[in-house]
Amino acid sequence: MLLTYNPHWENEVAFPGIERPYYLNLLLKEKDRILFLIGLRRIGKTTLLKQAIARLQHQVNPKHLLYVSLDHPMVQSYSLGDIIRTYRKLHALSRKEKIYLFLDEVGYQPDALRWIKVLYDNVQIYATTSSSAYLKQQGGLLTGRHLTVRVKPLGFDEYLRFTGKETSEPHLLERYFEDYLREGGIPYYVLTKDVNYLVELVNDVLTKDILSRAPGLHLQKIKELFYLVLSRVGKPLTYNRLAKLLGTKPETVEQYLTYMEAELLHLIYRWSRSMNERIFSPKKVYLGDIGIKYALTGSYSTGSNFENAVLLEILEKEPFYWLQDGIEIDFITRTKEVYECMLSGTLTPKQEKMLATLKRQGYQY
């Protein structure tokens, strides 16, 4: 199995896929901390690991590079410690010799983080997981030792490069941006336009990722809730309203959305200095990729998809939505930035007045 996963031990491997320089450079320059790549399934995390291997094979002994996919059934019957011992024995590697571990989908290995903590010395570790909830629950084991990087869907510039549509002509850029808002940024889907690929992606998340961690959940209710959410992207929603539509309890809706938030969705809270008001105000929901809605329903809104695309770009800035005295602003961040997402039209006088007030308070628009 290890030989199958690591063809670079025998022969030079070609660079796979299309490069995403920002993420690849982050991997290659990290020398001390454990680097975790998180993000939606099929967003390209595995490809990034293999691209890093393709680069490093020319800088270190290729046999010092180990890739393992921990979600494979044949691998799951072994502990990470067993795998590393077998690997070191296979290549007669002393513990004093630095090795590079590329661990794909660590969430499928129950004790993976405990082993990673033990293996930390003289080992450079790169790991992926499709579940940000997994790191939140287990990440305390590695406090101060790791860097988490969220791999996002393709931005518009990347979309143009992946599809070979790079241009400086305004009318073409406008047309391609419309395509981007419909298709989104899952790399393989962008290249193939295979709708079934995104349908399978969603089904895999709902059945493999969510139900595997919470087998007591009701799959049909989860699917129904997800499709309800698809029609409410960018709109405030309440657990009570969704519970009535589903014929279930608000607490159940909250539980289901919490699991989806780790995989498919982003829930954005209302900005308020009162923690109670943040928690109990309606949330706004956005998708992990803007192409999902069109692939699953055959319809989409350019306005809400644009707003969703902006949200994905600013996730690290911890965005909230702003609602005060009936005046709504799309996003306000902890870094004191304000975003009102508009493809056309103008701000209302009340919005302009509110933005002027926020600017005086030090916010940038």
- The number of domains in the chain is 3
Whether pLDDT at 136 is above 80: no
Q: What was the pLDDT predicted at 207?
A: 84
**Residue 143 scores a pLDDT above 70:** no
Claim to verify: residue 275 and residue 287 sit in the same structural domain: yes
Quickly state the pLDDT bin for 10 (edges 50, 70, 90): very high
Judgement on whether residues 144 and 176 belong to the same structural domain of the protein: no
Confidence (pLDDT) at 199: 94
Q: Of 313, 333, 355, which residue sits at a domain end?
A: 313
Give me the mean pLDDT over the 144-173 stretch: 94
Task: Provide the pLDDT confidence category of residue 118 given band limits of 50, 70 and 90.
Answer: confident
| Domain match, 230 and 131 both | no
Amino acid 140: pLDDT? 62
Residue 112 has pLDDT above 90, yes or no: no
Q: Which two tokens stand for residue 223?
A: 């699917």
Dist. CA 184–CA 305, nearest whole Å: 9
Q: What is the pLDDT of residue 360?
A: 92
Say what angle helices 45-56 and 21-29 make with each other, to 10 degrees. 60
Look at residue 113 in the predicted model and tell me its pLDDT: 82
Per-residue confidence (pLDDT) for residue 161, from 0 to 100: 97
State whether 304 and 161 are in the same domain: yes
> Cα separation of 238 and 236, whole Å?
7
Q: Please state at what angle helix 219-230 crosses helix 239-246, rounded to 10 degrees.
A: 120
Residue percentage of the chain with pLDDT more than 90: 73
* Band of residue 187 on the pLDDT scale cut at 50, 70, 90: very high
Q: Which two tokens stand for residue 157?
A: 């510039």
pLDDT at 138: 60
Q: Please name which of 270, 264, 254 lies closest in space to residue 319, comparing C-alpha atoms.
A: 270
The answer to whether 88 and 62 are in contact (CB under 8 A) is no
298-312 b/e (C-beta count within 10 Å ≥ 16 → b) = eebeebbbbbbbbbb
The answer on 199 and 243 residing in a single domain is yes
Residues 112 and 170 occupy one common structural domain: no
Q: Identify whether residues 265 and 362 lie together within a single domain.
A: no
Lowest-confidence pick of 23-27, 163-167, 324-328 = 324-328
Mark whether 160 and 303 lie in a shared domain. yes
Q: What is the mean pLDDT of residues 183-210?
A: 92
Q: Which domain holds residue 321?
A: 314-365
Give the pLDDT score at 139: 55
pLDDT tens for each residue of 306-351: 999 999 999 999 999 999 989 999 999 999 999 999 998 899 999 9
Mean pLDDT of the chain: 91
Of the three residues 150, 166, 190, the one that is the final residue of a domain is 150
Radius of gyration of the chain (CA): 22
Considering 150, 182, 198, which residue would you say is the last residue of a domain? 150
Q: Give the CATH number of the domain where residue 61 resides.
A: 3.40.50.300
| 63 pLDDT more than 70 | yes
pTM of the entire structure?
Answer: 0.90
Quick one: CA torsion of 275, 255, 187, 154, rounded to 10 degrees? Answer: -10
Tell me: do 87 and 105 sit in the same domain: yes
Judgement on whether residues 144 and 164 belong to the same structural domain of the protein? no
Write out the chain in H/E/C secondary structure.
Answer: CHHHHCHHHCCCCCCCCCCCHHHHHHHHHCCCCEEEEECCCCCCHHHHHHHHHHHHCCCCCHHHEEEEECCCHHHHCCCHHHHHHHHHHHHCCCCCCCEEEEEECHHHCCCHHHHHHHHCCCEEEEEEECCHHHHHHHHHHHCCCEEEEECCCCCHHHHHHHHCCCCCCHHHHHHHHHHHHHHCCCHHHHHHCCHHHHHHHHHHHHHHHHHHHCCCCCHHHHHHHHHHHHCCECCEECHHHHHHHHCCCHHHHHHHHHHHHCCCEEEECECCCCHHHHHHCCEEEEECCCCHHHHHHCCCCHHHHHHHHHHHHCHHHCEEEEEECCEEEEEEECCCEEECCCCCCCCCHHHHHHHHHHHHCCCEC
Co-location of 270 and 319 in the same domain: no
Q: Which of 92-106, 145-159, 213-227, 322-336 comes out lowest in average pLDDT? A: 213-227
Residues 166 and 291 in one domain: yes
pLDDT (tens digit per residue) in 34-55: 999 999 989 999 999 999 999 9
